[in-house]
């Protein structure tokens, strides 16, 4: 799958950007030239040799805050995606096999979660469970999980009644066997697409939550937090919000690009695409 | 004079330059019936489509001549083709459901053909459509008129499509695997219907099927096609009694060995 | 003793519009090595019959005994262990959809072997349907329709079944492949495997079946040796079916 995605130009671009972002998340805090929490007398300074992106309203180095905040932001969105994946895909596949009661219950639950207003719910739960990144991301992940539930359920349903699955059942296959051997491969591509999309959405949500001050306590830096601080002092540094915005947008865009690439290469169509490329390549070489 | 005449028709795919039909010739008299037997990929459907002027994109008649009611179709414009289809030549295909709009009633779609092709008024078109539905022996034609495609069985849909195909009183009807997807008893009824239409209205038929027996039942003359080639052509009795090509023999043997024939011979 | 014994079989479907009585009191038995054709048109209940025998849908009334075991009230677990004995196998109508498009031929053929706990390679199965071993690494989409249907037969043979149900096994194939698959099935019959053909077309199974049973609207209206059913049909529906089958004899009197 990965190899097929990388055979597309869009897949390579997306992978490149995401690799850069992940590197930022891993190495960012180490690369920060200043302590991201330490203020100075030099507030709202313009970019200079010692402060490449200037300082914020407390005199803290913006570049350091962005680099340091990248880990929390990226981890947050990954966590959202993982929670949504686990809470959505497993019930989604099982809803086809575990009988009508489970099916009915999970379907109604998914409908309920979809109907809840997103940010309001997140704010409410954080208020209830305390303000912290894990709580906030758990909430967001669960709110997104109906998407994964729907996607995996639809993919499973389309496979469940197919002759080859029945042939396996007639040969004595258990539900577990059928899922591992036949269903999983078909469910994976649409889930990968949904996952890449969700990582993008998760990123926006993490950023907007931290923008609102939910999830991360104020002094700790995040991209959304930096953006919020910048917006408060637009008249002094009108260009400042562009930097965190660009980071957030690039990540979201890369996630969506990756999602499209996965969709393009998965399934019959994808295999045909790859084959035609391989054939063309062989022609070129010979 | 022949109503439909094909003279050494060759069909090529311009996209890759491959020739898919290597010379088909036959002449169909008014009220006559000719059969084409062949499997998918034999070129039988392409041949029919050429006669209807609806070859898929990139496919062209690269050689030979097709004459419809004495007129060479090679120089026809799209507008002229549209005028000919329905009024001179018409067709029914294998999967009737896909040729009807699922969100319109069956009757309204037939009435539309009559209004467009015959310039009839709404009420007259409706009456004529019900007449046609009765002519294809649908029970309760007035009820069927108001029904949607999903409410009808495969056999009823195919009858409705035949009604639509003959609405503008064409002189040639092409039935391309028109009974293949139907139950055997329904297939027999549709074949009877086609034979009766031919007898009563002088409609000339081109019957296309993968099953030699279906074609043999209706036709006087038959073409056996394989991989774009006409391997055998002649009167039905002659083709069945003295098949010259190995492929024709295979088709006959299959019936003899696995079909009902062996019991019928014994009885 | 018969291999498959169906007595007074009733199957209902629950629909929003009410209950649909798909099978009404069907009695049918198949002896070891026997070849039976069940003929029925759309809505006759022939697919329901096959699915009931395979345990894919619940039986409302009656009994199904396979190889001496009453499977009528089997639960999931019992079915699974019974199926792993491999007594009954099924060949589907559509060879395109009966093989997993994401698995190679080898993986598809290995599946029933592994389910039976066997470790051997599937090469011998391809030999039995006269396909070349080089096909093992291919995907179903890279095979012709005839090859795919022979792989499907090979897959059914993996379990060394005593009874194979075949749902219109040749109707999607062209003449040459039809004859080839039918010849293959004849060999199986001669080797002692019982075959149950399910088809809408009497003409397509008359040449291979020892016995013909005719299903009409959920009831078995005729059951007898093929010759007798074809030459002296008793039920009106059977007569209609026989007169409907297009044959070469109507044009060329014997």
Residue B51: what pLDDT? 93
pLDDT of A286 reads 40
* Shortest CA gap B156–chain C (Å): 13
Residues on chain C touching B187 (C-beta within 8 angstroms)? 244, 246
β pairing state of B204-209 and B33-37: parallel
CA end-to-end span of chain C, whole Å?
Answer: 40
Domain presence at residue C211: yes
Chain B: nearest CA to C206, how far in angstroms?
6
**Contact partners of C by the rule of 3+ C-beta pairs under 8 A?**
A, B
Identify the chains in contact with A, defined as 3+ C-beta pairs within 8 A: C
Q: Is the pLDDT of residue C250 over 60?
A: no
Per-residue confidence (pLDDT) for residue C67, from 0 to 100: 92
> Which residue in C86, C99, C159 is closest to A164 by CB distance?
C99
CB contact under 8 A, C206 and B236: no
Q: Residue B28: is its pLDDT beyond 50?
A: yes
Map residue B196 onto helix, strand or coil: helix
C56 touches chain A (CB under 8 A): yes
Q: How far from chain centre, in Å, is Cα B211?
A: 14
With touching defined as 3 or more inter-chain CB pairs under 8 Å, the answer for chains B and A is no
Nearest chain C CA: its distance from B211 CA (Å): 9
* pLDDT single digits (tens) B210-266: 989 999 888 989 999 999 999 999 999 899 889 999 999 988 988 888 888 877 764
Full pLDDT tens readout for chain A, 286 residues: 677 777 888 888 888 888 888 888 888 777 777 777 777 667 766 777 677 777 777 777 878 888 877 877 788 778 888 888 889 999 999 998 888 899 999 999 999 888 888 777 777 777 787 777 777 778 888 888 898 999 999 989 888 888 899 999 999 998 889 988 888 888 888 887 787 777 767 767 776 776 676 666 666 777 777 777 777 777 777 777 787 788 888 888 888 888 788 777 765 544 444 444 444 444 444 4
C99-153 pLDDT, tens per residue? 998 888 999 999 999 998 888 888 888 988 888 989 998 988 888 888 898 899 9
pLDDT at C187 exceeding the cut of 80: yes
Q: Considering only CB atoms, which chain C residues are within 8 Å of B38?
A: none
- Which residue in B231, B264, B265 has the most chain C C-beta atoms within 10 A of its own C-beta, making it the best mutation to test that interface? B264
In B, minimum Cα distance to C238 occurs at B185
pLDDT at C91 over 60: yes
Nearest-by-Cβ selection for B265 from C174, C179, C254: C254
CATH architecture group of domain A2-285: Orthogonal Bundle (1.10)
Provide the domain limits for residue B82: 4-95+172-266
In a domain, B144, yes or no: no
B29 in helix, strand or coil?
coil
* Domain limits, chain A: 2-285
Mutation choice for B interface testing from C205, C241, C249, C252 by most B CBs within 10 A: C249
Hey, are the CB atoms on C56 and A166 less than 8 Å from each other? yes
How far, CA to CA in Å, does B263 sit from each of B257, C182, C207, C247? 10, 18, 9, 11
Q: By percentage, how much of chain C surpasses pLDDT 90?
A: 47
B164, part of any domain: no
Question: What CATH number should be reported for the domain holding residue B10?
Answer: 3.40.50.300
Task: Provide the domain limits for residue C201.
Answer: 2-87+161-244
C-beta of residue B255 within 8 angstroms of C-beta of residue C249: no
Q: In this model, does residue B118 exceed pLDDT 70?
A: yes
Contact B263 C182 (CB under 8 A): no
Q: Which residues pair with B89 in a beta bridge?
A: B85, B172
Cβ distance A171 to C86 less than 8 Å, yes or no, reads yes
pLDDT of residue B98: 87
Q: Does the predicted interface ipTM exceed a cut of 0.90?
A: no
* Nearest residue of chain A to residue C117 (CA atoms): A172
pLDDT at C224: 94
Task: Write out chain B residues lying below 8 Å of C168, CB-based.
Answer: none
Q: How confident is the model at residue C194 (pLDDT cuts 50, 70, 90)?
A: very high
> For chain C, what is the domain count?
1
Closest C-alpha among A259, A246, A226 to residue A72: A226
Mutation for testing the B interface, residue in C248, C253, C254 having most B CBs under 10 Å: C248
**pLDDT tens digits, one per residue of B137-181:** 898 999 999 999 999 988 899 999 999 999 988 999 999 999 888
Check which CATH number belongs to the domain holding C188 and give it: 3.40.50.300
In-domain check, residue C151: no
Q: Is residue C15 part of a domain?
A: yes
Q: Cβ of C98 and A185 within 8 Å?
A: no
Partners of residue B238 on adjacent β-strands:
none
Could you read off the pLDDT of B30-61 as tens digits, one per residue?
999 999 999 888 999 999 999 999 998 889 99
Q: Is the dihedral of CA A31, A32, A33, A34 positive or negative?
A: negative
Handedness of CA A243, A245, A251, A253 (dihedral sign): negative
Residue C125's CB is within 10 A of a number of other CB atoms, namely: 23
Please give the helix or strand (H or E) that residue A85 lies within, else none.
helix A62-97
Count of domains in chain B?
1
Amino acid A281: pLDDT: 44
What local confidence, expressed as pLDDT, does residue C253 receive? 45
C123 located within any domain? no
Q: Which of B39, B153, B266 sits opposite C175 (nearest CB)?
A: B39
Residue A170 to residue C88, Cβ atoms within 8 A: yes
Give the chain C residue whose CA is nearest to the CA of A164: C98
């Amino acid at each position: 799958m990965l190899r097929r995605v990388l055979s597309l130009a869009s897949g390579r671009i997306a992978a490149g950007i995401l690799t850069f972002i992940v590197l930022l998340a891993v190495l960012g805090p180490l690369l920060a030239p200043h302590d991201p929490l330490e203020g100075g007398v030099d507030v709202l300074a313009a970019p200079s040799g010692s402060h490449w992106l200037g300082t914020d309203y407390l005199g803290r180095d913006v570049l350091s805050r962005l680099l340091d905040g990248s880990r929390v932001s990226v981890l947050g969105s990954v966590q959202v995606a993982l929670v949504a994946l686990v809470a959505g895909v497993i019930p989604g596949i099982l809803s086809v096999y575990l009988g009508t009661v489970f099916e009915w219950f999970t379907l109604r639950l998914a409908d309920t979660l979809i109907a809840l207003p997103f940010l309001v719910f997140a704010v409410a739960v954080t208020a209830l469970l305390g303000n912290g990144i894990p709580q906030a991301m758990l909430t967001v992940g669960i709110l997104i999980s109906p998407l994964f539930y729907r996607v995996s359920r639809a993919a499973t349903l389309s496979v469940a009644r197919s002759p080859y699955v029945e042939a396996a059942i007639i040969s004595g296959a258990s539900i577990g066997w059928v899922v591992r051997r036949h269903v999983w491969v078909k469910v994976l591509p649409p889930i990968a697409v949904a996952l890449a999309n969700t990582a993008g959405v998760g990123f926006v949500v993490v950023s907007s939550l931290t923008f609102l001050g939910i999830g991360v306590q104020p002094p700790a830096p995040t991209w959304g937090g930096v953006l919020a601080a910048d917006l408060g002092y637009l008249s002094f540094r009108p260009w400042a919000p562009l930097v965190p915005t660009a980071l957030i947008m690039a990540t979201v865009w890369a996630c969506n690009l990756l999602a499209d690439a996965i969709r393009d290469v998965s399934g019959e169509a994808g295999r045909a695409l790859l084959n035609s490329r391989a054939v063309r390549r062989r022609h070129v070489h010979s | 004079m022949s109503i439909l005449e094909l003279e050494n028709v060759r069909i090529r795919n311009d996209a890759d330059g491959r020739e898919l039909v290597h010379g088909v010739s036959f002449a169909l008299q008014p009220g006559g019936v000719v059969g084409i037997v062949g499997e998918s990929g034999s070129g039988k459907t392409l041949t029919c489509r050429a006669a209807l002027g609806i070859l898929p994109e990139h496919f062209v008649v690269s050689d030979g001549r097709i004459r419809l009611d004495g007129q060479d179709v090679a120089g026809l414009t799209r507008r002229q083709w549209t005028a000919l289809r329905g009024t001179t030549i018409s067709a029914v295909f294998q999967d009737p459901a896909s040729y009807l709009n699922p969100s319109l009633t069956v009757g309204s779609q037939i009435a539309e053909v009559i209004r467009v092709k015959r310039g009839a008024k709404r009420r007259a078109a409706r009456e004529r459509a019900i007449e046609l539905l009765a002519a294809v022996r649908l029970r309760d034609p007035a009820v069927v008129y108001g029904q949607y495609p999903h409410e009808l069985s495969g056999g009823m849909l195919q009858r409705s499509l035949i009604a639509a195909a003959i609405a503008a009183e064409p002189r040639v009807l092409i039935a391309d695997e028109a009974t293949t997807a139907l139950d055997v008893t329904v297939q027999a009824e549709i074949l009877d219907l086609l034979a009766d239409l031919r007898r009563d209205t002088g409609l000339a038929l081109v019957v296309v099927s993968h099953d030699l027996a279906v074609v043999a039942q209706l036709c006087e003359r038959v073409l056996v096609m394989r991989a774009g080639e006409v391997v055998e052509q002649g009167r039905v009795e002659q083709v069945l009694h003295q098949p010259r090509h190995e492929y024709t023999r295979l088709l006959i043997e299959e019936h003899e060995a696995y079909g009902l024939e062996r019991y019928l011979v014994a009885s | 003793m018969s291999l498959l014994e169906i007595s007074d079989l009733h199957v209902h479907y629950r629909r929003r519009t009410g209950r649909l009585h798909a099978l009404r009191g069907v009695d049918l038995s198949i002896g070891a090595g026997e070849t039976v054709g069940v003929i029925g048109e759309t809505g006759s209940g022939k697919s329901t019959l096959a699915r009931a025998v395979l345990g894919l849908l619940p039986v409302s009334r009656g009994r199904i005994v396979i190889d001496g075991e009453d499977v009528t009230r089997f639960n999931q677990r019992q079915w699974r262990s019974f199926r792993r004995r491999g007594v009954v196998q099924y060949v589907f109508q559509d060879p395109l959809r009966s093989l997993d498009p994401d698995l190679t031929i080898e993986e598809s053929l290995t599946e029933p072997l592994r389910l039976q706990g066997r470790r051997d390679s599937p090469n011998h199965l391809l030999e039995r349907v006269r396909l070349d071993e080089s096909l093992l690494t291919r995907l179903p989409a890279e095979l012709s329709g005839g090859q795919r249907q022979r792989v499907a037969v090979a897959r059914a043979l993996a379990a060394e079944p005593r009874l194979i149900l075949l749902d219109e096994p040749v109707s999607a194939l062209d003449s040459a492949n039809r004859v080839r698959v039918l010849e293959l099935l004849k060999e199986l019959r001669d080797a002692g495997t019982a075959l149950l053909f399910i088809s809408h077309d009497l003409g397509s199974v008359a040449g291979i079946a020892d016995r013909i049973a005719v299903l009409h609207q959920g009831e078995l209206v005729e059951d007898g040796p093929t010759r007798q059913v074809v030459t002296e049909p008793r039920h009106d529906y059977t007569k209609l079916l026989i007169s409907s089958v297009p044959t070469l004899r109507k044009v060329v009197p014997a």
